[in-house]
Amino acid sequence: MKVAMVQNNPVFGEKNENIKELFKLMERGSADIYILQELAYTGYQFRSKSELQELSDTADNETILKFKEKAVQKNSCIIFGFSEMGGDGKIYNSSMLVTPEGKTVIYRKTHLFYKENLFFTPGNSGFIVHEWRGIKIGLAICFDWFFSESFRTLALMGADIIAHCSNLVMPYCQTADYARAIENRIYIATVNRIGAEERTDEKLTFTGQSVLVSPKGDYLIKAPVDETGIFIHEIDTTLSRNKQLNEFNHVLNDRRDLFYKKG
């Protein structure tokens, strides 16, 4: 099973152009699963809720249809971040998984980061694992990584790989993924963007370096800090399904909930 990570530099607000660029990058390589960044084609730094509203998409509108058609054309599963106008009138920072068979799954970001809290509603979907062609794909978005319970929950739900759509501005995640991958024995695909946005009095610089980390902590992909591109690697589910660290230790079953604090 081949996984492609697409690292891009979207121009704020230029939805159609950004999607064209993403699709162009996708055409550069062949894979079973394509993972794109958080808010993949809108940009990140919104000035107001009304601006965000204008750039948001419902789950089945024309913009989303383009991704569905692309999944069919490539006979691949695509996961991408977008600003979702929910049926409840609220706007969620979401990711969508679309398959060539026409299935769609939406995850709504659980842990909003920084000023996202001004514009988005915290996700209510809970964590999601979707099985497609024998691989179990867990969905997470950017700051979710900061809470180890997020990836742990996805591992407990059986995820082989976490499709972690991101717009990282802090430098920690790509390193922290090492621990998250080995403690859960899963693949982590953190797909980040490059470039910067300065649409307010604050400049946000995105840290690039999308990474694919194996259940053994190997960095199978480490993309550049400042270049767009598509990065592809094979993954092996026999590795992510073997949770036995040695003959005595199982990374999930050895947990002792009794002594862990809930809050």
What positions carry a catalytic annotation?
A: 38, 109, 142
Structure-token match 């062949």, residue found: 30
Task: Write down the least CB distance from residue 206 to ligand ACM, Å.
Answer: 9
Provide the β-strand partners of residue 233: 3
- Both structure tokens of 261: 């604090």
Token pair for 206: 């995105």
| 142 versus 191: smaller Cβ distance to ligand ACM | 142
- What is the sign, positive or negative, of the torsion defined by CA atoms of 76, 82, 85, 91? positive
- Which positions lie near ligand ACM, rule CB under 6 A? 38, 113, 142-143, 167-169
Separation of alpha carbons 22 and 1, rounded Å = 21
Rounded CA-CA distance 261/230 in Å is 41
Minimum gap (Å) between residue 145 Cβ and ligand ACM: 8
Task: Report the C-alpha gap between 130 and 205 in whole angstroms.
Answer: 32
Query: Which of 44, 42, 24 has the alpha carbon at shortest distance from 34?
Result: 24
- Measured from the Cβ of residue 172, the count of other Cβ atoms closer than 10 Å reads 11
Q: Which is nearer to ligand ACM, 100 or 208 (CB)?
A: 208
Q: Which is nearer to ligand ACM, 38 or 84 (CB)?
A: 38
Per the rule left: phi > 0, alpha: psi between -120 and 50, beta: everything else, 179 is alpha
CB of 27 to ligand ACM, least distance (A): 27
Task: Compute the least distance from the CB of residue 111 to ligand ACM, in Å.
Answer: 7
* Minimum CB distance to ligand ACM smaller for 55 or for 71: 55
Main-chain dihedrals φ then ψ at residue 120, nearest 5 degrees? -100, 160
Minimal distance, residue 13 CB to ligand ACM, in Å:
18
Identity at 141, one-letter amino acid code:
I
Q: What is the closest distance, in whole angstroms, from the C-beta atom of residue 199 to ligand ACM in the complex?
A: 15
Nearer to ligand ACM, 198 or 236 (CB): 198
Q: How far apart are CA 145 and CA 245, in angstroms?
A: 23
Determine if residue 69 is left, alpha or beta; phi over 0 gives left, psi from -120 to 50 gives alpha, anything else beta: alpha
Are 188 and 179 in contact by the 8 Å Cβ rule? The answer is no
